[in-house]
């Protein structure tokens, strides 16, 4: 069997046009109108395979190719929501390739022994709704359905209401297709495979991360009349904390990273000492001990600001320990790459994925293909059509073995 490489790439281009703005990539935040249009397109392609399409109550869309046995299904999938100004491949590749796997099996007139499910998970990115990975978080009972439906977006809208509004509050249980194995195909989003000229990354696990929302409150005052010694400047206090936290990651002996992706000052005027600074921190590290130490240092830095008279609120909005994947699934993927004469290496994912949630409930692994210059979460994200087709073929081989096992 082989993936229809032309259709895979054509569909990725098409999906990439949903929510696209000239020169700014595409923005398809979870449960927006753009997400609805993307879902509609993907559901149509799922239906075209002849398989069943089922939507669950957290909005995950499942393409279900029924097997001959009642065994728990094998699942693949990823997400089609995006960050702001995204590339066309992050998440979409895994969903569209999964659909092509089912299409290839149907075309070969084969009926798998086990049921095969391709899932487009809701709100993987966590940009509009935090925490991230909401669809897989609910499926794996890391979060209750009711808590998830009550999460409020950055623009003040309840998850459950928005899911209803876009028409994707399904009736199926999010636990209906709990699989016995999960394999996610994704672009690497980092520079390693591209730099080494390798075709396939066999993903052994995902690094740990924690997300924080921080608000520092000081005292707004006149920029001209308030002596430096008498200020309680929330802006500079926040910036000093940020410099310490990011420098700490830069100096770490581990590949720790820290990112301030959002930052806002109030009242945000040139001639007013800022009374409030609000920002987010995304800290990641493959090692649990150093990640925990970075978190402790953040708490200490906040305590020091409080001692200086600032009021600081610190909320952890999402957190995951580093996740190891199944070594037997990794071996299987490695062997399948080798069988197609493809070069590969073991790799740890720097980005987070629904697979890290699924790893809590079943043997899980991921397959990476190279990202040009390691660029992602950026419109310039790119992998060649041939690289994308190659990864999808390895996914096909792996899933077919699992459904037949
Ligand atoms: C998702 O892409 C993440 O790693 O934040
Ligand atoms: Mn992704
Ligand atoms: Mn992403």
User: Are 289 and 196 in the same domain?
Assistant: no
User: Residue 334's CB: how many other CB atoms inside 10 A?
Assistant: 18
Residue 361 binned pLDDT confidence (cut-offs 50, 70, 90):
very high
Q: What is the model's pTM? A: 0.96
pLDDT of residue 258: 98
Angle at 199 between CA 196 and CA 201, to 5 degrees: 85
pLDDT of residue 215: 98
pLDDT digits (tens, 9 = 90+) for 98-155: 999 999 999 999 999 999 999 999 999 999 999 999 999 999 999 999 999 999 999 9
State the CATH number of the domain containing residue 173: 3.40.630.10
Q: Burial letters for 363-375: b for 16+ Cβ neighbours within 10 Å, e otherwise?
A: bbbbbbbbbeebb
The alpha helices in 276-326, defined as continuous H runs, are 288-307
130, 351, 354, 376, best to mutate for ligand 1 pocket (most atoms within 8 Å of CB): 351
Helix, coil or strand: residue 25:
coil
User: Are 128 and 148 in the same domain?
Assistant: yes
User: Are 200 and 214 in the same domain?
Assistant: no
Distance 234 CA to ligand 3 centre (A): 31
- Strand ranges (DSSP E) for 101-255? 116-121, 181-187, 200-206, 208-217, 221-222
For 256, the domain range is 210-320
- Cβ of 383 less than 6 Å from ligand 1: no
Q: Which of 320, 344, 364 is the last residue of a domain?
A: 320
Residue 357 binned pLDDT confidence (cut-offs 50, 70, 90):
very high
User: Are 338 and 315 in the same domain?
Assistant: no
Distance 325 CA to ligand 1 centre (A): 17
Q: Provide the token pair at 194.
A: 């591209």
pLDDT of residue 130: 96
Residue 10 binned pLDDT confidence (cut-offs 50, 70, 90):
very high
Give the ligand at the shortest distance from the Cα of 261: 1
Q: For 285-306, what is the mean pLDDT? A: 97
CA distance 391 to 333: 10
Q: Which of 269, 293, 320 is the last residue of a domain?
A: 320
pLDDT of residue 126: 97
pLDDT of residue 38: 98
Distance 284 CA to ligand 3 centre (A): 14
Share of the chain above pLDDT 70, in %: 100
Q: Provide the token pair at 33.
A: 């109108």
- Cβ of 352 less than 6 Å from ligand 1: yes
pLDDT of residue 355: 98
CA distance 188 to 185: 9
User: Are 173 and 36 in the same domain?
Assistant: yes
User: Are 274 and 351 in the same domain?
Assistant: no
pLDDT of residue 143: 98
Distance 382 CA to ligand 2 centre (A): 14
User: Are 76 and 184 in the same domain?
Assistant: yes
pLDDT of residue 245: 96
Q: For 39-44, what is the mean pLDDT? A: 98
- Cβ of 351 less than 6 Å from ligand 1: yes
pLDDT of residue 194: 98
User: Into how many domains does the chain fold?
Assistant: 2
User: Are 308 and 330 in the same domain?
Assistant: no
- Cβ of 125 less than 6 Å from ligand 1: yes
User: Are 202 and 249 in the same domain?
Assistant: no
State the CATH number of the domain containing residue 308: 3.30.70.360
pLDDT averaged over every residue in the chain: 98
CA distance 246 to 234: 18
pLDDT of residue 248: 95
User: Are 255 and 136 in the same domain?
Assistant: no
Q: For 255-284, what is the mean pLDDT? A: 98
Residue 383 binned pLDDT confidence (cut-offs 50, 70, 90):
very high
User: Are 238 and 114 in the same domain?
Assistant: no
Q: For 298-322, what is the mean pLDDT? A: 97
User: Are 201 and 215 in the same domain?
Assistant: no
CA distance 75 to 64: 9
Q: Which of 300, 320, 340 is the last residue of a domain?
A: 320
Whether 26 contacts 80, CB under 8 Å: no
30 CB-side CA count, 13 A? 32
């Amino acid at each position: 069997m082989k993936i229809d490489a032309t259709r895979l790439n054509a569909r990725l281009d098409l999906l990439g046009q949903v929510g696209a703005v000239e020169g700014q990539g595409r923005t398809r935040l979870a449960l927006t109108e753009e997400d609805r249009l993307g879902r509609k397109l993907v559901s149509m392609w799922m239906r075209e395979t002849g398989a069943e399409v089922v939507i669950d109550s957290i909005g995950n869309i499942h393409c279900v190719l029924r097997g001959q046995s009642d065994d728990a299904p094998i699942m693949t999938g990823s997400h089609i929501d995006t960050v702001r100004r995204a590339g066309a491949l992050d998440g979409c590749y895994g969903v569209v390739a999964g659909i092509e796997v089912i299409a290839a099996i149907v075309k070969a007139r084969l009926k798998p022994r086990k049921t095969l499910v391709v899932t487009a998970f809701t709100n993987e990115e966590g940009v509009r709704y935090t925490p991230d990975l909401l669809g897989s978080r609910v499926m794996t009972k890391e979060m209750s359905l009711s808590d998830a439906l009550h999460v409020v977006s950055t623009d003040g809208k309840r998850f459950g209401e928005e899911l209803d509004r876009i028409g994707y509050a399904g009736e199926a249980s999010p636990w209906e297709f709990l699989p016995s194995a999960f394999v996610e195909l994704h672009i690497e989003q980092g520079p390693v495979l591209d730099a080494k000229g390798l075709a396939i990354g066999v993903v052994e696990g995902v690094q740990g991360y924690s997300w924080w929302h921080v608000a520092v409150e000081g005292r707004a005052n006149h920029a001209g009349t308030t002596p430096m010694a008498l200020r309680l400047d929330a802006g500079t206090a926040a910036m000093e904390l940020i410099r310490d936290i990011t420098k700490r990651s830069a100096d770490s002996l581990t590949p720790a990273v820290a990112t301030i992706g959002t930052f806002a000052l109030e009242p945000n005027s040139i001639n007013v000492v800022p009374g409030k600074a609000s920002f987010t921190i995304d800290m990641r590290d493959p090692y649990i001990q150093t990640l925990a130490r970075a978190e402790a240092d953040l708490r200490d830095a906040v305590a020091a600001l409080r001692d200086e008279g600032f009021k600081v609120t610190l909320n952890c909005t999402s957190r995951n320990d580093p996740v190891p994947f199944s070594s037997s699934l990794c071996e299987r993927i490695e062997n399948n790459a080798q069988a197609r004469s493809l070069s590969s290496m073991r790799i740890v994912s720097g980005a987070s994925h629904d697979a890290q949630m699924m790893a809590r409930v079943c043997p899980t692994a991921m397959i990476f293909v190279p990202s040009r210059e390691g660029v992602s979460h950026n419109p310039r994200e790119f992998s060649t059509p041939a690289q994308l087709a190659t990864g999808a073929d390895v996914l096909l081989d792996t899933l077919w073995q699992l459904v037949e096992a």
